[in-house]
Structure 1
Amino acid sequence: MTESATARRLRITPERLAELYESVLDLLREVGYHALTMDAVAARTRCSKATLYRQWGGKAELVAQAVRHDTPSSAQAGETDTGSLKGDLYALTLCRDDARIERNSALMRGLTMAIHTEPDLRDAFREYLIDPAKEDLRAALRRAVARGEIHADNPAVDFIMHMMIGAFVSRLSVEEEAPTQAFLVSYIDAVVLPALAARTPALPVVGTAVPGHPRG
């Protein structure tokens, strides 16, 4: 169920839906996924538990939808054609500023752990977050192949999602710090693009500027 479909069925405004999702994320930060209950969500969002179950089916889908709402959609990022693979990867990755990345890092770490023990949450994340993100990256790669930037038979193409997730996981695990925009740009330049053997023309970055990092 898409967010717009959810909003129509609930007969609430997009602003109210955004408020509901933000309340769910606040609760997650406070208590974690396993301690989160639909009763607590109903009380925090001033929405009946019956309505929550009717519209989202359960906790897993509600949480996945809330995280998806807080993640830039493909319409905002994945469908942006900057004219180069480098620009597309920047646009896909630099959708959040450093403050938001840091704020959500602990939340995502907890949810990642919960995914390993909760099949419903794993399935919901795959449907609403992982699969759409993979398609965004594949679309960027298809455009790069069409432009002649990379070869379609490059074996690294199959590991693009692993590489991009690795940027976030490794920074948290190895350095115990949330990734910054500067770190993500450096990672794309030093790891992802060389692996893809992409030719990267000097083009301005679309979206948020990264202080202290030369563009192009």
Structure 2
Amino acid sequence: MTPQAASTTRAVSTDAATAAARRSKITPERETELFEAVLDLLREGGYDAVTMEGVAARTKCGKATLYRQWKNKPQLVTAALTKNRCPYFAGVDTGTLIGDLREVARLASCRRDRDAELMEAVSQAYVRHPDLREALYETVIQPEVAAVDAMLARGVERGELAPDNPATAFVAPCLMGMLRVERVLEERFADTPETMTAFIESVILPALDLDEQ
């Protein structure tokens, strides 16, 4: 291929890529509308009720546009679930491990009004659908687990936590589990408005052998 032909080919490829990007661009307002449709379908019928065709029909959006943006249903659902999600544990760093864990409890207590129908639909889908589980694990769960593990590692570095404490490996799973169990067993915790705080104080801190020293 001559240099001129190669240059022409590159120009055509660039123009095509630019045109494709322009065609696939979705405004923030339109994206919000699409995500709300996804979440409504999740609440109404669970993960199985969400289809690319159904979202397209509900929002009068071309199905091809959805596939250009999100490739498949798990990516679309994950994007909708995480669009405005505030992390529970990421960014918490008070300077002490006890302070970090109590801040985690405070943040969780502030969000007790979580969308129960949506959480239940996602929880069921997480177990039954490996493709969604993988997407959610990478974008939601793993960052939260990593944040808790980082808190514990800082505690070890500061000498607050024994490096061989066997409870350390269970802290992140226990915290993640309580976020769901509190809602599922809400009648058990109905008289405990700050369930996560009580959980931290009565279970996690003693297990880690932490005190106010």
Gaps of 5+ in 2: 1-21
In the alignment, the residues of structure 1 paired with residue 83 and residue 38 of structure 2 have an alpha-carbon distance, to the nearest angstrom, of 11
**Which letter maps to 2:94?**
T
In the alignment, the residues of structure 2 paired with residue 163 and residue 185 of structure 1 have an alpha-carbon distance, to the nearest angstrom, of 13
> Within the alignment, does 1:118 sit opposite 2:129 as a pair?
yes
Cα-to-partner distance string for 1:14-67 (whole Å, 9 max, x where unaligned):
565445434322321122111111122224445432122222221112212222
Residue matched to 1:197: 209
Residue matched to 1:63: 77
In the alignment, the residues of structure 2 paired with residue 61 and residue 158 of structure 1 have an alpha-carbon distance, to the nearest angstrom, of 30
Cα-to-partner distance string for 1:155-188 (whole Å, 9 max, x where unaligned):
1111112211231333334445788861111111
Residue identity (%): 43
**Which letter maps to 1:56?**
W
SS at match of 1:152: coil
In the alignment, the residues of structure 1 paired with residue 138 and residue 130 of structure 2 have an alpha-carbon distance, to the nearest angstrom, of 12
The 5-angstrom pairing of residues 61-210 of structure 1 reads 61-73=75-87, 77-95=89-107, 101-176=112-187, 182-200=194-212
In the alignment, the residues of structure 2 paired with residue 141 and residue 147 of structure 1 have an alpha-carbon distance, to the nearest angstrom, of 10
Give the alignment's TM-score, normalised by structure 1: 0.73
Are the equivalent residues in 2 in contact too, given 1:85–1:200 (CA < 8 A)?
Answer: no
55 and 172 in structure 1: CA distance in 2 versus 1, 3 angstrom threshold: same
Equivalenced residue count is 191
121 and 97 in structure 1: CA distance in 2 versus 1, 3 angstrom threshold: same
In the alignment, the residues of structure 2 paired with residue 161 and residue 32 of structure 1 have an alpha-carbon distance, to the nearest angstrom, of 27
Q: 1:49 aligns with which of 63, 70, 73?
A: 63
162 and 97 in structure 1: CA distance in 2 versus 1, 3 angstrom threshold: closer
In the alignment, the residues of structure 2 paired with residue 168 and residue 61 of structure 1 have an alpha-carbon distance, to the nearest angstrom, of 23
In the alignment, the residues of structure 1 paired with residue 55 and residue 159 of structure 2 have an alpha-carbon distance, to the nearest angstrom, of 49
Are the equivalent residues in 1 in contact too, given 2:52–2:73 (CA < 8 A)?
Answer: yes
User: Between Structure 1 and Structure 2, whose CA radius of gyration is higher?
Assistant: 2
Gaps of 5+ in 1: 1-7, 202-216
Please state which structure has a larger fraction of its residues in helix.
2
Greater shift after overlay, 104-113 or 176-185? 176-185
CA displacement at 1:123 relative to structure 2:
1.0
Give the alignment's Cα RMSD to 1 decimal: 3.1
189 and 96 in structure 1: CA distance in 2 versus 1, 3 angstrom threshold: closer
Residue matched to 1:36: 50
